[in-house]
Structure 1
Amino acid sequence: MPRVVIASDGACRGNPGPGGWAAILRAGAQEKIVSGADALTTNNRMELTAALRALQALNRPARVTIETDSRYLLDGMTKWLPAWKARGWRTADGKPVKNADLWAALVEAAAPHEVDWQWVRGHNGHEANERADRLANEALDRMLASARQGMSA
């Protein structure tokens, strides 16, 4: 089974507001970047989307390490998920789980893989995390520039 290390990150300007996401997938000397943006979203949705799109980009089962600076993503996937699913995607106080659509998609995308979720401190010199952050912001900038061009045409 191949080994893949993924650095994922999301960015949002305003919360909610326009947001971007990116992930860097590395397997040996090979590297693939996936990124995108949404016009109106939240930072948490962008963090989840980055990890989701990275997992969806894998074309066969792998041993995957996902590096994230999002405690929300990390804790959701490693601590909270079993209870949410057991309660029908509800929190301990009975409220619907926020972003349940993305959590469910993440569960499905992760299923074929052996995934190890690792937290890294954001904006603290972790090279891959810093790069994923830049790529997420670049995706956001491209979307905003495209929207401005569309308005001026």
Structure 2
Amino acid sequence: MSNSIIVYTDGAARGNPGPGGYGAILMWGDKRKELSNGYKHTTNNRMELMAVIAALRALKKDNLHITVYSDSAYVVNAVEKGWLKNWLRTNFKGGKKNPDLWRLYHSLAQKHTVKFVWVKGHADNPYNNRCDELATAAADGNDLEEDAGYQPE
């Protein structure tokens, strides 16, 4: 069993802000695991990031090589372009959004080597499309949780 994991993620919010959900697919070797959850009141960006966090939380080992495929330029660029390092260094000065989730992501990512790859959303990638289905179904679900960190504008 390799220590390389492939993760696809997507987030959705109805109304943005509004009811939201995330979907994630973890793949290693021939194994697959799907994750999703829905929230009463949240944003699309929070759900995009929550999908990544849920995937990292589901991992049982440390020191894995993880490639995350996401259609969220916000999430991909924050990590790959180093924005997050700056936000952490300046304590999210200037009203940068979602510091609770970014700090949680950062602490989970420290245990692994994580690389992000942007994929075009709603295109011909079956894994991204499945994550979209999981996220929207979760957003439309009945037993939605509170997104405790969501802060209205």
Q: TM-score, normalised by structure 1?
A: 0.88
What CA distance in whole angstroms lies between the structure 2 residues aligned with 1:101 and 1:45? 10
Task: Report the equivalent of 2:92.
Answer: 89
Q: How does 1:4-153 map to 2 (within 5 A)?
A: 4-61=5-62, 62-79=64-81, 80-90=83-93, 95-143=94-142, 146=143
Q: Once the two structures are superposed, what CA deviation does each residue of 1:21-51 show, in whole Å capped at 9, x if it has no partner?
A: 0100000111111110100000000000000
What CA distance in whole angstroms lies between the structure 2 residues aligned with 1:47 and 1:27? 21
5+ long unaligned stretches in structure 2: 145-153
1:96 CA drift (Å) = 2.3
Q: Once the two structures are superposed, what CA deviation does each residue of 1:65-89 show, in whole Å capped at 9, x if it has no partner?
A: 0000000001111220121122122
Aligned residues: 141
5+ long unaligned stretches in structure 1: 148-153
Which structure features the higher share of helix residues? Answer: 1
> Which ranges of 4 or more aligned residues in structure 1 deviate by more than 2 Å?
none
1:64 CA drift (Å) = 0.4
Q: Which has the larger radius of gyration?
A: 1
Q: TM-score, normalised by structure 2?
A: 0.88
Residue 80 of structure 2 contacts residue 115 of structure 2 at CA under 8 Å; is this kept in 1?
no
Q: Please give the root-mean-square deviation of Cα atoms over the aligned residues, in Å.
A: 1.2
RCO higher in structure (CA 8 A, sep ≥6) = 2
Seq. identity, %: 40
SS at match of 2:116: strand
Q: Give the letter for the 1:47 counterpart.
A: E
